[in-house]
Amino acid sequence: MTQHEHREYFVSWEELHRATRELARRQLPVEQWRGVIAVSRGGLVPGAIMARELNLRVVDSVCVSSYEFQSQKTEPEMLKDVTCTEDGEGFLVVDDLVDSGNTLKFLRKRFPKAKFVTVYAKPAGLPFVDEHIADIEQDTWIHFPWDMHLHYIDPIAGAET
């Protein structure tokens, strides 16, 4: 699927922060958590926000390659594992989005006792996430703030007057 064959949804920093704070609020009481495992790269920012909001000091990342630019690989590849847990018990595995569910399905085998949370979820990925904030249609491409550049745009009614 090319970028023009689907809908697009642009996420601002403010929207991402507000939604991630709400996701963190839903994880109370904090005493049940030992730490956060952020799924690199998309889960790094939401993972940091979750750790801050829940005042968790143990933060690790797992690096999984499941995309080649904008197309999904058939099988995810573990590039870096965590050192903070054996089975994920007491940990929140945080990602920005569950799309097809391939990455989270892969990680559930590694962390069977963890809770999996994402900010956004598409229908195909819903069976693989324990909690999320916003539903996104399957054919929608999400543009996260770290993938965009803000710049000036000329008004629709140009300067021809």
We report the CATH number of the domain holding residue 31 as 3.40.50.2020
Range of the domain at 90: 12-136
Q: Per the structure block, which two tokens stand in for 91?
A: 């940990």
Residue 150 lies in a domain: no
Q: How many independent structural domains does the chain possess?
A: 1
Residue 153 lies in a domain: no
Q: Per the structure block, which two tokens stand in for 36?
A: 């956060």
Q: Per the structure block, which two tokens stand in for 52?
A: 């801050």
Q: 11: closest CA among 42, 57, 33, 50?
A: 42
For 100-152, the pLDDT digits (tens) are: 999 999 999 999 999 999 999 999 999 999 999 999 999 999 999 999 887 77
Q: Is the dihedral of CA 78, 145, 121, 53 positive or negative?
A: positive
For 84-106, the pLDDT digits (tens) are: 999 999 999 999 999 999 999 99
Residue 58 lies in a domain: yes
Residue 142 lies in a domain: no
Helix (H, G, I), strand (E, B) or coil at 29: coil
Query: What is the helix (H) or strand (E) element at residue 98, kind and residue range?
Result: strand 91-98
Residue 149 lies in a domain: no
pLDDT-derived band at 1, boundaries 50, 70, 90: very low
Catalytic residues: 95-96, 99
Q: Which of 5-9, 46-50, 53-57, 141-145 has the lowest mean pLDDT?
A: 5-9
Q: Please give the model's pTM, rounded to 2 decimal places.
A: 0.87
The pLDDT of residue 75 is: 83
Q: In whole angstroms, what is the distance from residue 101 CA to residue 38 CA? A: 16
Residue 4 lies in a domain: no
**Euclidean distance between the first and the last CA atom of the chain, given in angstroms as a whole number:** 41
For 30-50, the pLDDT digits (tens) are: 999 999 999 999 999 999 999
| Cα dihedral 69, 72, 76, 81 in deg (nearest 10) | 40
Confidence check: pLDDT of 83 > 70: yes
Beta pairing class for 59-68 and 35-40 = parallel
Residue 82 lies in a domain: yes
Q: In whole angstroms, what is the distance from residue 84 CA to residue 124 CA? A: 30
Q: Scan for tokens 């916003």, then name that residue.
A: 134
Our CA angle for 130, 146, 82, nearest 5°, is 50
Residue 6 lies in a domain: no
